[in-house]
Structure 1
Amino acid sequence: MRRHGRRLAARATALAGLVALVAGCAPGGTEAAADRPVVLTTFTVLADIAAHVAGDHLTVESITKPGAEIHGYEPTPGDIRKAVGADLILDNGLNLEAWFGRFVAGVDVPHVVVSDGVQVIDIAEDAYTGQSNPHAWMSPLNVQIYVDNMAAAFAELDPEHAADYRANAENYRTQLQQVHDDLVERLDVLPVNQRALVTCEGAFSYLARDAGLTEKYIWAVNAEQQATPQQIASTIDFVNTFEVPAVFCESTVSDAPMQRVVEATGADFGGVLYVDSLSGPDGPVPTYLDLIRHDVKTIAAALTADRVS
């Protein structure tokens, strides 16, 4: 962890210098940016949510591309040029974007933490014990808070269209509530001892809470993850003890450690879940609603396979 901390500090120092350099030589703006205010988000999931709230009044862009791993991302000079030209920057907060503080420190652009107001769940295992679990967007209920924060920020940025932002947010909240209600209904058939969600990363604490599931994961956070024999053994014991019918892994990491759990327990591999990034337009989860619906359907289908026709 000390070496990891020194690397982060070195990256932060280099990034601060890069921000100053790019900010000093950035152009004053473009005609396209003058047409609509530009909102920049740290990753694709936030960009899609923000775009639904913004409607046609704002231009929303993501710093990271589809498929990118957000935890250890290293911003590029192009990212900084985008930030300098933006009117508002949105980040998740909760220590998700370890690189973000220094990224915005040299950029004179307001930013909003969209997770403000979420009831935070702390990480319970590994070196991250006691830190906030950053994956709050994996709860459709939490994203309703994200949406309200975005609508308020957009109304301040662009008061003329404040009513539209509020209306867009309310419509999106309704869809999010439907996803939550569907998850709870689908999992209602599970007996108490099998109400468990086992994944590679601890990214589903909030979704598990929403659904009344006990969460178990191999590692807590994807940053520098390497499954240890102890972590795999602990997961195997959990699956055997609670007779968990299926286990899962995320799209941005190797499922090899979880496949060892499958081999040792006889549990099914329930499928790939999406967390940190959307897919491209032609992929399986091009929007946040697609992502959360995919995960809900995949989890529910695998855990209830022997109980539904």
Structure 2
Amino acid sequence: MPKFLFRRAKVAARTLARGTAAFRAAGAAAVVLLSLSLTACGGAASGNSDSDKPVVLTTFTVLADVARNVAGDKLTVESITKAGAEIHGYEPTPGDIRKAAKADLILDNGLNLEAWFGQFVEGLDVPHAVVSDGVEVMSISEDSYQGKPNPHAWMSPVNVQIYVDNMVTAFSKLDPENAAVFQANGDAYKAELQGVQDEMKASLAGLPENQRALVTCEGAFSYLARDAGLKEVYIWAVNAEQQATPQQITRAIEYVKANQVPAVFCESTVSDAPMQQVVGATGAKFGGTLYVDSLSEADGPVPTYLDLIRHDADVITKALAGTSTGAPAGAK
């Protein structure tokens, strides 16, 4: 029997017995988990093909990719959300709770990104680490979220080096025998992150001052804009707002007109319809789709975090410099 399985069965039993909010939310799903866990203890095959390895569960795909680079082949890393999913307003399923109860470590971004996370882990006897701990946090400057931390700290490769250090610490505590491997993997990946940071700054450095405005649907680019010396403008502050108000769209239109911004952008996990209204009212080009909250599928444009940063920097630079043709209305 895999060394982690018996502990997971006990976790499920304790969660069931406590009658916590997590159990109440999961309902019958927790009963199914208990049944499956106890069956596995009796000799049935585990549903995890790498059941001899500790399982690390992350809240979204970006964290999963970074974690895999640190873990190497010593841990099994999974993501709660799938490629293309919107993370802010995600609603966990009973299957997610079953998966979390079987994990050996859960990683979340923190900074109020995963509004659902507290209730999700309530009652689960599974350790978790907040990977953004230690990051120099930027605050949201407008709308109802004013003064709250901007959660998109991973949009700076410099910050992600701090994420890596936190993962090395958490993984070494989980699996002390492989601490040296995690440290070596982390150091190597941090060097790659710094390389991508340097590439991004060099790519965006040539933009003229009057073109150094990054206008997006969500205010998710504060850290990237800071690193690259861009002025960040957005329609709404956080995707959890669901849709743009007429006032928000008008504000973006006025800024683009007043500053003659040549191109505007939107993110892959939301509709670009509000930004297309800005395009129609100003004559600016729709510069393209940027990736923030999710990676793409393996055959898509950003299957890894490093690809995500390179893609976004390339799309922004070409559109603002006028060397791309822009994207047609509704393009995603």
Q: TM-score, normalised by structure 2?
A: 0.84
Q: Show CA shifts across 1:34-66 (max 9, x none).
A: 410000001111111101110000000011111
CA spacing shift, 1:20–1:183, aligned 2, 3 Å: same
Q: Who is 2:281 aligned against?
A: 264
Match for residue 279 of structure 1? Answer: 296
Match of 2:25 among 11, 18, 40: 18
Q: How do 1:67-106 and structure 2 match up within 5 A?
A: 67-106=84-123
Which residue number in structure 2 is paired with residue 217 of structure 1?
234
The reply to whether residue 290 of structure 1 matches residue 275 of structure 2 is no
Secondary structure class of the residue paired with 1:90: strand
- Tell me by how many angstroms 1:129 deviates: 1.1
Match of 1:152 in 2: 169
Aligned residues: 295
**Amino acid across the alignment from 1:246:** A
1:23 CA displacement: 4.8
More moved, 112-121 vs 232-241: 232-241
Look up the SS of the partner of 2:240 in the other structure: coil
TM-score by length of 1: 0.90
Correspondence for 2:252 among 224, 232, 235: 235
Query: SS of the counterpart of 1:35?
Result: coil
Of the structure 1 ranges 100-109 and 286-295, higher mean CA displacement relative to structure 2 is found in 286-295
Equivalence for 1:126: 143
- What is the identity, as a one-letter code, of the residue corresponding to 1:96? L
Distance apart, 1:192 and its partner CA: 2.4
Q: Equivalent residue for 1:4?
A: none
Q: Matched residues in 2 for 1:252 and 1:126: separation?
A: 21
Unaligned 5+ runs, structure 2: 1-19, 41-45, 325-332
CA distance, structure 1, for counterparts of residue 244 and residue 313 of structure 2:
25
Q: In structure 2, how many angstroms separate the alpha carbons of the residues matched to 1:82 and 1:33?
A: 14
Contact 1:20 1:106 in 2 (8 A): no
For 1:133, what is the secondary structure of its paired residue?
coil
Offset at residue 193 of structure 1 (A): 3.1
1:173 Cα offset (Å): 1.0
Paired position in structure 2 for 1:49: 66
SS at match of 2:181: helix
Q: Where in structure 1 are there 5+ consecutive unaligned residues?
A: 1-12
Aligned residues: percent identity?
Answer: 69
TM-superposed CA distance for 1:306, in Å, is 5.6
Tell me if structure 1 keeps the 8 A contact 2:22–2:121: no
Q: CA RMSD in A?
A: 1.9
